[in-house]
């Protein structure tokens, strides 16, 4: 069978032996993880596109016979970083779920306590405030839940009139944060409006964690388009981190999101509710320290992980 022609914008598919050879040509060594073990790992435990995402954390040689090859990168390092990233996602996901739940409780509490809110008009007015295409999408998303095993029975009881407690029960995190902003403006609540911006960061981390997207491979990015909240900047300063370091690290969008989620979580729940999370943080911390000890000269890895470890040490 002839090989299918590869167009200019396509990467050629590689077999696992070809993947390993390609990595060797890029300067990746197989000293701490043999080629046979790497082949088994790529066949059974992970896949090339995912595990090689962490190459971006290592510098490349410039000039000479080995130009473009990675410096000090063994395949075992890619495995360790992939595992550490998975553990980070496993930390972030339950935090974001807890933060979302707490914010929904806050909104319901506000609606319940306000005499001028009946629970229905707020959703009607929120939907009318949206652009036509967004409104149609929100309504269609909700109506599709009538066919869901987990929501159809209760949704059908309400026909076309949807109260806020029902809407919050089944809306996505992103859709809820949009409604949260509407409520903040409706009630002229500056604290809620500020928290809305933090929740948007939380949504981004929730999506990345829930869908298993690599996170720490983006620690090389330097500039976030979103300004760090004043309360978070102060909390980071209170953790004993210098202005120079916190300014530099919080410019990274992924580090900024991690810190925002941790801030929202630790400033929402008391320590009695955090016992299991604290244990998970301690496990991640020990693995992060091990990687830092293995790569003391890798500034991107050590400075980024070190920054997060200082935050976690103070907040958990």
pLDDT tens-digit profile, the chain (316 residues): 455 555 556 778 899 999 999 999 999 999 999 999 999 999 999 999 999 999 999 999 998 888 899 999 999 999 999 999 999 999 999 999 999 999 999 999 999 999 999 999 999 999 999 999 999 988 888 777 777 787 777 777 776 688 999 999 988 999 999 999 999 999 999 999 999 999 999 999 999 999 999 999 999 877 777 788 889 999 999 999 999 999 999 999 999 999 999 999 998 876 555 678 888 899 999 999 999 999 888 999 999 999 999 999 999 8
- 10: DSSP letter: -
What are the phi and psi torsion angles at 60 (to 5°)? -110, 150
How far apart (Å, rounded) are the C-alpha atoms in residues 103 and 290? Answer: 36
pLDDT at residue 4, as a whole number: 55
Beta bridge partners of 60: 70
According to DSSP H, which parts of 114-226 are helical?
A: 121-129, 132-144, 152-156, 164-170, 173-186, 190-210
How many CA atoms, within 13 angstroms, populate the side-chain half-sphere of residue 67? 4
Neighbours of 179 (CB within 10 A): 24
Both structure tokens of 115: 């005499």
How many other CB atoms are there within 10 angstroms of residue 94's CB atom?
Answer: 14
Tell me how far apart the alpha carbons of residues 118 and 116 are, in angstroms, rounded to a whole number: 7
Q: What is the pLDDT of residue 149?
A: 82
- How many Å apart are CA 307 and CA 315, to the nearest integer? 13
Q: Of 311, 308, 292, give the one whose Cα is nearest residue 240.
A: 311
Say what the pLDDT of residue 5 is. 55
- Residue 165 CA to residue 178 CA, distance in Å, equals 15
CB atoms within 10 A of CB 185: 12
The b/e string for 10-49 (b: 16+ C-beta within 10 A; e otherwise) is eeeeeebeebbeebeeebbebeebeeeebbebbeeebeee
Radius of gyration of the chain (CA): 23
| 55: DSSP letter | G
DSSP H/E element including 32: none
Residues 55, 218: Cα–Cα separation, whole Å: 11
* CA–CA distance, 110 with 62 (Å, rounded to integer): 59
Q: How far is CA 52 from the centre of its chain?
A: 19
| pTM summary value | 0.90
Closest CA to 48 of 9, 66, 80, 22: 22
C-alpha span between 268 and 298 (Å, rounded): 35
């Amino acid at each position: 069978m002839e090989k299918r022609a590869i167009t200019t914008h396509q990467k050629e598919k590689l077999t696992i032996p070809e993947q390993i050879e390609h990595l060797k040509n890029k300067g990746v060594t197989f000293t701490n993880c043999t080629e046979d073990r790497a082949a088994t790992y790529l066949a059974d435990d992970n896949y090339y596109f995912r595990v090689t995402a962490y190459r971006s954390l290592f510098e490349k040689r410039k000039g000479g016979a080995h130009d473009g090859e990675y410096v000090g990168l063994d395949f075992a390092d890619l495995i360790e970083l992939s595992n550490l990233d998975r553990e980070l996602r496993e930390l972030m996901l339950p935090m974001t779920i807890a933060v979302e739940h707490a914010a929904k409780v806050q909104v319901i509490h506000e609606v319940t306590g306000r005499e001028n809110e009946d629970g229905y008009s707020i959703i009607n007015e929120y939907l009318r405030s949206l652009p036509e295409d967004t409104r149609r999408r929100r309504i269609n998303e909700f109506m599709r839940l009538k066919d869901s095993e987990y929501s159809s029975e209760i949704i059908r009881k309400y026909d076309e009139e949807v109260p806020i407690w029902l809407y919050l029960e089944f809306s996505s995190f992103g859709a809820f944060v949009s409604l949260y902003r509407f409520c903040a403006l409706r009630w002229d609540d500056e604290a809620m409006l500020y928290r809305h911006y933090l929740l948007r960061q939380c949504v981004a981390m929730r999506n990345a964690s829930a869908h298993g997207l690599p996170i720490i491979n983006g620690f090389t990015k330097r500039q976030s388009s979103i300004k760090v909240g004043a309360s978070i900047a102060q909390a980071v300063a209170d953790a004993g981190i210098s202005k120079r370091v916190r300014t530099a690290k919080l410019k990274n969008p992924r580090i900024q999101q991690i810190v925002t989620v941790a801030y929202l979580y630790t400033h929402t729940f008391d320590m009695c509710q955090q016992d299991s999370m604290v244990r998970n943080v301690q496990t991640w911390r020990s693995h992060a320290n091990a990687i830092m000890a293995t790569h003391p000269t890798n500034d991107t890895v050590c400075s980024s992980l070190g920054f997060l470890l200082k935050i976690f040490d103070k907040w958990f």
